[in-house]
């Protein structure tokens, strides 16, 4: 019996082609295994071989998800693989979405073992963790030395049909799948044992982890709107025409700061949306539908609010990593405070 065949999917950065300036790289098969694929090949051992690496730029894949998925799938098919591995993508949002998407497509179309790897806050993790195995990694490529051996070890178990353990045992992100098993102690005893450990301040592991939601205390109400300076911030992707800062349509890596000084209305000629997660037609016809500059100008002219801040801030919420969103918010917040803004209207889609 010959070696088991593996195809590896990576983006333009890990292929050594370039960074953001090469994110529009079209799908292709690497002429030789890039270093990351060669390293993975060594870690997989003597019975498994990486026979090919498919490369695609993050922007190209995310802007052409349906067609890019088909292109990449055909390239993968050509190698007749027994196993497919994508990434790891760490906390790179667009890479994570691409890796998750193609892993799901290959799993469904070729019916072979598939897995990828990424940071738990990568948007791709939340999108695909219930459908494919996603090995948990650190948030940056600095964790590659730990991530790749973990992926290789799990991949070998997956492709050889070994029994797969729990997320804690194997290192993959929880999928929401519950498996019945027999425990030597009945549930009531285990519950009491955990309670006693909690009371004593000792470590314990719950059998039913609950989601952890951020809670933010609301600020006090504005006392007098007629003296209030209000700013507009949106995750709906409204940008000046032609998107000058090239904010991504999905998994945004940046936000924009734009002036609306002297503008009473956002027109089809002046503004549009960069967002890729909703039908843009109505937002492109009248961007005030997402960023209500016209209404706020009317309120200011009528004296109901003090003034509208001359700058607005915008990004795309579609698939954007929570960590990125928090970073954007902290930076934008500092700027608004420095400019004496009293209140902010946040709009989405």
pLDDT tens, 153-190? 999 999 999 989 888 889 999 887 777 778 899 989 99
Global model pTM greater than 0.85: no
Average pLDDT of span 327-339: 95
**CA distances for 335 relative to 53, 328, 331, angstroms:** 44, 11, 7
Q: Give the start-to-end residue ranges of the domains of the chain.
A: 4-170, 225-347
**pLDDT on residue 48:** 95
The percentage of residues in the chain with a pLDDT greater than 90, rounded to a whole number, is 74
> What is the CB neighbour count within 10 angstroms for residue 98?
32
Statement: residue 267 has pLDDT above 80: yes
Average pLDDT of span 11-29: 93
**pLDDT on residue 57:** 95
Statement: residue 15 has pLDDT above 90: yes
Statement: residue 285 has pLDDT above 80: yes
**pLDDT on residue 337:** 96
Average pLDDT of span 10-38: 94
Average pLDDT of span 308-320: 91
Average pLDDT of span 268-285: 93
Would you place residue 60 in the very low, low, confident or very high pLDDT band (cuts 50, 70, 90)? very high
CATH architecture type of domain 4-170: 3-Layer(aba) Sandwich (3.40)
15, 30 Cβ separation under 8 angstroms = yes
Q: Which residues, in sequence order, are CB contacts of 78 under 8 Å at separation 6+? A: 29, 52
Residue 229: helix, strand or coil by DSSP?
strand
294, 288 Cβ separation under 8 angstroms = yes
Average pLDDT, the chain: 92
* Maximum average pLDDT range among 27-36, 168-177, 243-252, 319-328: 27-36
Return d(Cα 140, Cα 27) in angstroms, integer.
24
Query: What pLDDT, in 10s, does the model give residues 189-238?
Result: 999 999 999 999 999 888 877 777 778 888 889 999 999 999 999 999 99
Query: What pLDDT, in 10s, does the model give residues 86-116?
Result: 989 998 888 999 999 999 999 999 999 999 9
**pLDDT on residue 330:** 93
Would you place residue 321 in the very low, low, confident or very high pLDDT band (cuts 50, 70, 90)? confident
Paired tokens of 314? 């915008």
Query: What pLDDT, in 10s, does the model give residues 117-158?
Result: 999 988 889 889 999 999 999 988 889 999 999 999 999 999
288, 218 Cβ separation under 8 angstroms = no
Q: What is the CA radius of gyration of the chain?
A: 24
Paired tokens of 307? 């003034």
**pLDDT on residue 1:** 58
The percentage of residues in the chain with a pLDDT greater than 70, rounded to a whole number, is 99
43 — phi, psi (to 5°)? -70, -25
Q: What angle do CA 47, 50, 51 make, to 5 degrees?
A: 110
Average pLDDT of span 235-259: 93
Minimum mean pLDDT range among 102-106, 211-215, 280-284, 333-337: 211-215
Average pLDDT of span 254-275: 95
């Amino acid at each position: 019996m010959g070696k088991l065949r593996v195809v590896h999917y990576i983006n333009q950065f890990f292929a050594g082609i370039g960074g953001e300036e090469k994110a529009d790289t079209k799908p292709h098969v690497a002429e030789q295994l890039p270093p990351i694929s060669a390293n993975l090949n060594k870690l997989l051992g003597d019975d498994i071989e990486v026979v090919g690496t498919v490369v695609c730029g993050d922007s190209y894949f995310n802007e052409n998800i349906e067609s890019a998925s088909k292109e990449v799938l055909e390239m993968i098919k050509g190698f007749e693989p027994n196993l497919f591995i994508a990434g790891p993508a760490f906390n790179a949002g667009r890479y994570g979405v691409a890796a998750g998407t193609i892993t799901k497509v290959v799993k469904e179309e070729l019916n072979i073992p598939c897995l990828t790897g990424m940071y738990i806050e990568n948007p791709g993790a939340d999108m695909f963790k219930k459908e494919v195995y996603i090995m948990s990694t650190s948030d940056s490529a600095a964790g590659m030395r730990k991530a790749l051996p973990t992926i290789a070890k799990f991949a070998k178990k997956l492709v050889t049909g070994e029994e797969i353990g729990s997320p804690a045992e194997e290192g993959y992100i929880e999928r929401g799948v519950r498996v019945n098993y027999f425990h030597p102690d009945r549930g009531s005893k285990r519950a009491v044992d955990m309670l006693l450990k909690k009371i004593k301040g000792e470590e314990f592991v719950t059998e039913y982890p609950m989601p952890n939601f951020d809670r933010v205390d609301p600020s006090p109400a504005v006392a007098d709107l007629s003296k209030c300076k209000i700013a507009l911030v949106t995750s709906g992707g409204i940008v000046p025409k032609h998107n000058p800062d090239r904010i991504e349509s999905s998994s945004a890596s940046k936000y924009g700061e734009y002036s609306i000084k002297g503008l009473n209305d956002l027109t089809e000629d002046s503004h549009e949306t960069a967002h890729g997660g909703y039908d843009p037609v109505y937002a492109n016809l009248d961007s005030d539908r997402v960023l209500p500059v016209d209404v706020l100008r009317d309120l200011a002219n009528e004296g109901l609010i003090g003034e509208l801040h001359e700058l607005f801030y915008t990004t795309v919420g579609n698939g954007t990593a929570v960590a990125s969103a928090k970073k954007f918010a902290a930076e934008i917040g500092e700027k608004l405070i420095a400019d004496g803004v009293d209140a902010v209207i946040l709009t989405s889609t």
